[in-house]
Structure 1
């Protein structure tokens, strides 16, 4: 977080809080929604519409210590996704960067939060590249995240990214993902390109797939929970990820049974949907989650 003298004043219902380990959280209390955003990573860790369950899953064993990439919520994977860059940290630099708060607007139905990574921070993290990046959260009865990247250099730059959205399910055995019938996907576990499955997608083991050439909505259902509707803009790829029982035991800040209660459905510019941004070109990727 930047110096307090440079941060905008906070409206009523918006506060900075510090957890037990010293991590700074922007806390939002509005008649329609309660939400929390970690300043490091601009990481939305919770969004609970009034009277509803949280729209996001957060690992119950993640202590959310400062400087760490959090397990759950919506990590921002930027400006590369996964292991796209050899020898570089997985999922880019945004998840552990210190973002600044640019503005908070409280509206009748929702709250808008705008954040960015300061230029000096980006220059330090990516000295050979020239980027500007900002994110807008729109939080109310549903949530929306809009991540905007601009190439501010004089050469084209390759961008891959994802809004790594962890969604809750009552039990993965009862979960169904609707909307991906016959959509082709890249299986990251085998590096094979596969035709889409018939009917809704169910998960019985580790899954790591990039569904591509599909920009339509998907719907997540599980027993005893309201269906969640997920829409995307600025991408034709959707990452579906669940670690399964074996990998769950190897992940940091992740309970051994965590795979039973979550699935990631991620708006992504990844795999065949990576983008080459021309000098001064900008691109926005968005995801929305709601009932």
Structure 2
């Protein structure tokens, strides 16, 4: 076990890649393809402090996404991303792939925030691709409904030359305008973008001249795309450079919110396949 500032983390390395996973939030904050480059963005200003979400990597939003609908005083994006998870195992699947499993169970502290018994399991596959599987299990005596997201920060060369394919003619909810619209043409990243795309059954591709990220999702048809833009970044002291990141999030929100009966479970799966072009973007 290693430590960065206040937070303990697991370090994984094999012949394909390396990763760092904080126990707080089961948060993978670094994933590097060997001899190629860094796949996930991590803000240089991010704080590794107890109770503070890491700015970058893949935060886990659960059991609600964004502000709590019933009580805005509750933690934004839920409590999973700032809770201490238990490291269950690290398995060598081959010389090119490693599996890390972490769990989070309901506790007296979580029951104050959300009155249900549950078990969360995150399986992280570190190899030629990065795959995350978040399984939610209802251990309560009654049904519950949750929203969630794998809030993935992708490393890019520059937001102003980045294109996103896979949303043609898709309906989306624009959180900056509080309206629904249909995607036409390319996404304009000259200002803040915060959109929830619906009914996305295909892969999503993020590309610029130096890197192509293909995001494959199972367990939902909803994808969130977010970049804060220059104005919002100026109000975010833990974000170092919005031009080097784009969030593409597999999310159970809107029509894809999940209701589980007693004993039922649900898995949200995201796979990131990254291809570097010409030069590495690692910093």
Residue 101 of structure 2 corresponds to residue 114 of structure 1: yes
Match of 1:105 in 2: 91
Q: How many residues align?
A: 271
Matched residue SS, 1:147: strand
- Tell me whether 1:263 sits opposite 2:250 in the alignment: no
C-alpha distance in 1, partners of 2:108/2:125? 25
The equivalent of 1:49 in structure 2 is 33
Change in 2 beyond 3 A, CA 1:55/1:272? same
Candidates 61, 81, 95, aligned match of 1:77: 61
1:125 CA displacement: 5.3
The answer to which of 56-65 and 242-251 deviates more is 56-65
Matched, 1:147 2:134: yes
Paired residues of 1:46 and 1:58 also in contact (CA < 8 A) = yes
Closer, same or farther: CA 127–162 of 1 in aligned 2, 3 Å = closer
Q: For 2:97 and 2:195, how far apart are their aligned partners in 1? A: 33
The residue that corresponds to 1:159 in the other structure is: 146
Relative to its length, the structure with more strand (as a share) is 2
- Structure 1: state its 5+ residue gaps: 1-15
Alpha-carbon shift at residue 191 of structure 1 (Å): 1.4
1:10 aligned residue: none
Equivalent of 1:276, from 242, 259, 278? 259
Give the 3-state SS of the residue equivalent to 2:211 in structure 1: coil
Cα distance in 2 between the residues matched to 1:197 and 1:242: 18
Superposed CA RMSD = 1.5
Residue 199 (structure 2) aligns with: 213
User: Distance in 2 between the 1:149 and 1:125 partners?
Assistant: 19
Q: Which has the larger displacement, 99-108 or 79-88?
A: 79-88
**Is 1:226 the equivalent of 2:211?**
yes
Indicate whether 1:239 and 2:224 are aligned.
Answer: yes
Return the TM-score normalized by structure 1.
0.89
Q: Tell me how far apart the structure 2 counterparts of residues 29 and 282 of structure 1 sit (CA, whole Å).
A: 31
Q: 2:235 aligns to what SS in structure 1?
A: coil
Distance (whole Å) between structure 1 residues aligned to residue 12 and residue 174 of structure 2 = 38
2:39–2:155 contact (8 Å) kept in structure 1: yes
Matched, 1:133 2:117: no
The C-alpha deviation readout for 1:189-220, integer Å capped at 9, x for no partner, is 1211111223x434221011000111210111
Cα distance between partner residues in 2 of 1:95 and 1:207: 22
Q: Kindly report which structure 2 residues correspond to 1:14-93, keeping only aligned pairs within 5 A, or say none.
A: 16-19=1-4, 21-85=5-69, 86-87=71-72, 88-93=74-79
Q: How many Å apart are 1:74 and its aligned residue? A: 0.1
TM-score with structure 2 setting the length: 0.91
Specify the SS of the correspondent of 2:202.
coil
Give how far 1:229 is off: 0.7
Secondary structure of 2:37's aligned partner: coil
SS at match of 1:40: coil
Shift of 1:123: 4.9
| Deviation by residue 1:80-133 (Cα, 9 ceiling, x = unmatched) | 100133231110000110000111101222000000014436655546212111
Give the SS at the match of 2:100.
strand
Please point out which of 228, 234, 237 is paired with 1:249: 234
**Large movers: runs of 4+ above 2 Å:** 84-87, 118-127
